[in-house]
């Protein structure tokens, strides 16, 4: 890892709260911080365990890091629960991941997105502000979806105006503005990252890549929205975690950084690559047909953003951050991970998720 240990001492804290640490990126981040950064303090994982939160994703961390890792089941919609955890663990920094994160769910049921992503973020910022000088950093994890949708040309950057379209992206845009307001108004030490689509281990199989891997393995239809021509910029979760830690520990208060994969692909090409990888490891379908034959074009997502792509030259220039994965290496590693971890897959698929997804696809 290319971390600069001296530069990381710029912002120093020892009682870090990670919200949403039982989710996909949060669990990878906690493991990354303990294993890769030299951080010597404690991490308090504050997570409500919604359908997307799976504490089993951190079984290894809990066993290895003992008292330095604390799990608190708590809801960011509850200001008192946040304050209790802040006081009990003398929280001096927050890395805020907790959110309702799935665009399709936000189209069906937007209310939870406003409550958690907007009000929940406000509750956390307020609790951080109340700690006064004892609080040194609030890092807010956000998305490129706040910028809206691109045409065939151009990139999102830190200066792109906000133009969110889905209830999910509007709720994230709102939380970004509130976080910035707490810096500008109260001087709270805030940083923000806006990143592109993540993939990698421990991602809940409602998102494109893990859903397609598992369906391709099991011979189920691969539901591609519309023609599959929408474009996303794919970022390996490990590269995202390194970017967040870099910004959290080195960036000036009040700054924003865009983080991307420099890896734009059309959805249909992502799905075809996954089919090819599953076929390489597991062979064709039992009837001899290629896995690609499972691709099924279904009704398009409402308000489906056409293209996301990030210009991440600011974080590269300021800190020397770079992606360490390509789509080729990262997709292969990710398909292998899902094939090698059936117990984790079963643990998430036995829950509420399955009932929701069945209802959702029934009408398409
Ligand atoms: P996820 O859905 O996998 O995990 C979300 C976690 O938050 C879960 O553990 C869940 O239990 C927890 N949570 C939800 N509501 C909560 C509440 N009210 N109180 C406490 N905990 C709650 O999400 P993810 O993909 O890991 O995304 C993490 C963050 O990164 C989100 O803020 C998301 O907007 C942002 N982000 C994600 C991506 C991506 O590609 N996944 C890209 C850009 C930004
Ligand atoms: O079954 C599917 N078929 C399909 O064609 C699913 C689940 C998705 N898609 C398409 C929709 C998108 O164009 O694939 C693309 C990726 O979809 P998602 O995995 O749902 O991601 P997206 O909507 O792009 O949002 C993700 O990236 C930005 C995360 O879910 C957000 O939390 C993040 O902010």
Given a contact cutoff of 8 angstroms between Cβ atoms, the answer to whether 121 and 179 are in contact is: yes
Report CA(350)–ligand 2 centroid distance (Å). Answer: 22
Predicted local distance difference test score (pLDDT) of residue 342: 94
Predicted local distance difference test score (pLDDT) of residue 356: 61
Which pLDDT band, with edges at 50, 70 and 90, does 10 fall under?
Answer: confident
Predicted local distance difference test score (pLDDT) of residue 252: 96
The CATH-assigned architecture of domain 14-199+234-262+307-326 is: 3-Layer(aba) Sandwich (3.40)
Given a contact cutoff of 8 angstroms between Cβ atoms, the answer to whether 43 and 14 are in contact is: no
Token reading at 269 = 């090409």
Report CA(145)–ligand 1 centroid distance (Å). Answer: 14
Is residue 86 pLDDT above 60, yes or no?
Answer: yes
At a CB cut-off of 8 Å and minimum separation 6, what does 8 contact? 37, 38, 245, 249, 250
Is residue 361 pLDDT above 80, yes or no?
Answer: no
List residues bridging with 139 in a β-sheet. Answer: 95, 191
Share of the chain above pLDDT 90, in %: 90
Predicted local distance difference test score (pLDDT) of residue 137: 97
Better-scored residue on pLDDT, 88 or 11: 88
Predicted local distance difference test score (pLDDT) of residue 260: 97
CA 277, CA 283: separation in Å to the nearest integer? 9
Is residue 238 pLDDT above 70, yes or no?
Answer: yes
145 catalytic per annotation: yes
Share of the chain above pLDDT 70, in %: 94
Which pLDDT band, with edges at 50, 70 and 90, does 259 fall under?
Answer: very high
Residue 299 half-sphere exposure toward CB, CA atoms < 13 A: 9
- Segment 123-156, tens digit of pLDDT: 999 999 999 999 999 999 999 999 999 999 999 9
Taking the whole predicted model, whether its pTM rises above 0.85 is answered as yes
Ligand approaching nearest to the C-alpha of 23: 1
Is residue 360 pLDDT above 90, yes or no?
Answer: no
At a CB cut-off of 8 Å and minimum separation 6, what does 66 contact? none
- Segment 42-60, tens digit of pLDDT: 999 999 999 999 888 999 9
Predicted local distance difference test score (pLDDT) of residue 349: 81
Predicted local distance difference test score (pLDDT) of residue 327: 96
Predicted local distance difference test score (pLDDT) of residue 329: 96
Predicted local distance difference test score (pLDDT) of residue 5: 62
Is residue 104 pLDDT above 70, yes or no?
Answer: yes
Q: Which residues line the pocket of ligand 2, CB cutoff 6 A?
A: 101-103, 143, 145, 197, 207-208, 211, 223-225, 230, 232, 267, 301
Token reading at 68 = 């330095």
C-alpha angle 247-317-17 in degrees, rounded to nearest 5: 5
Report CA(230)–ligand 2 centroid distance (Å). Answer: 10
- Among residues 168, 182, 199, 338, the one annotated as catalytic is 168
Is residue 66 pLDDT above 70, yes or no?
Answer: yes
Q: Indicate the domain borders of the chain.
A: 14-199+234-262+307-326
Which position has the token pair 């961390």? Answer: 61
Ligand approaching nearest to the C-alpha of 227: 2
Given a contact cutoff of 8 angstroms between Cβ atoms, the answer to whether 30 and 18 are in contact is: yes
Given a contact cutoff of 8 angstroms between Cβ atoms, the answer to whether 65 and 30 are in contact is: no
- Segment 166-208, tens digit of pLDDT: 999 999 999 999 999 999 999 999 999 999 999 999 999 999 9
Which pLDDT band, with edges at 50, 70 and 90, does 23 fall under?
Answer: very high
Burial class of residue 152 in the structure, from the number of CB atoms within 10 Å of its CB (0-12 exposed, 13-18 middle, 19+ buried): exposed
Residue 33 half-sphere exposure toward CB, CA atoms < 13 A: 30
- Mean predicted lDDT score pLDDT of the chain: 94
176 catalytic per annotation: no
Given a contact cutoff of 8 angstroms between Cβ atoms, the answer to whether 125 and 182 are in contact is: yes
Is residue 338 pLDDT above 90, yes or no?
Answer: yes
Ligand 2 site-directed mutation target among 103, 145, 205, 265, most atoms within 8 Å of CB: 103
Which pLDDT band, with edges at 50, 70 and 90, does 2 fall under?
Answer: low
Is residue 353 pLDDT above 70, yes or no?
Answer: no
What atom of ligand 1 comes closest to residue 144's alpha carbon?
43
Backbone phi, psi, residue 71, to 5°: -105, 130
Predicted local distance difference test score (pLDDT) of residue 143: 98
Predicted local distance difference test score (pLDDT) of residue 56: 86
Given a contact cutoff of 8 angstroms between Cβ atoms, the answer to whether 13 and 250 are in contact is: no
């Amino acid at each position: 890892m290319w971390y600069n240990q001296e530069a990381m001492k710029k912002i120093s804290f020892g009682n870090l709260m990670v919200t949403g640490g039982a989710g996909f990126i949060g669990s990878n981040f906690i493991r990354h911080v303990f294993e890769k950064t030299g951080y010597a303090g404690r991490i308090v994982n504050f997570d409500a365990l919604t359908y997307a939160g799976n504490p089993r994703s951190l079984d290894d961390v809990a066993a290895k890091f003992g008292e330095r890792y604390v799990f608190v089941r708590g809801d960011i919609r509850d200001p008192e629960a946040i304050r209790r955890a802040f006081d009990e663990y003398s929280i001096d920094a927050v890395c805020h991941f907790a959110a309702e994160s799935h665009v399709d769910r936000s189209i069906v049921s937007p209310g939870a997105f406003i409550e958690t992503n907007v009000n929940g973020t406000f509750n956390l910022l307020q609790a951080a502000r109340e700690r006064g000088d004892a609080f040194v950093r609030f890092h807010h994890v956000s998305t490129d979806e706040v910028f809206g949708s691109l045409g065939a040309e151009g990139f999102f950057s830190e200066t792109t105006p906000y133009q969110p379209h889905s209830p999910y992206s509007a709720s994230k845009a709102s939380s970004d503005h509130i976080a910035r307001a707490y810096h500008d108004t109260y001087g709270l030490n805030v940083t923000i990252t806006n990143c592109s689509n993540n993939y990698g281990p421990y991602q809940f199989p409602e998102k494109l890549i893990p859903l397609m891997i598992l369906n391709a393995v099991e011979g189920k239809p691969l539901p591609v929205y519309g023609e599959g021509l929408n474009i996303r910029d794919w970022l390996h979760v490990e590269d995202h975690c390194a970017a967040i830690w870099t910004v959290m520990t080195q960036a000036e208060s009040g700054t924003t950084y865009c983080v991307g994969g420099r890896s734009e692909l059309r959805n249909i090409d992502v799905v075809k690559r996954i089919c090819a990888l599953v076929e390489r490891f597991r062979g064709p379908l039992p009837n001899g047909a290629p896995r690609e034959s499972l691709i099924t074009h279904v009704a398009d997502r409402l308000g489906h953003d056409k293209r996301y792509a990030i210009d991440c030259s600011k974080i590269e220039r300021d800190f020397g951050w770079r992606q360490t994965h390509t789509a080729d290496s990262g997709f292969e590693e990710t398909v292998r991970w899902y094939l090698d971890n059936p117990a984790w897959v079963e643990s998430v698929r036995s829950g509420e998720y399955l009932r929701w997804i069945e209802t959702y696809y029934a009408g398409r």
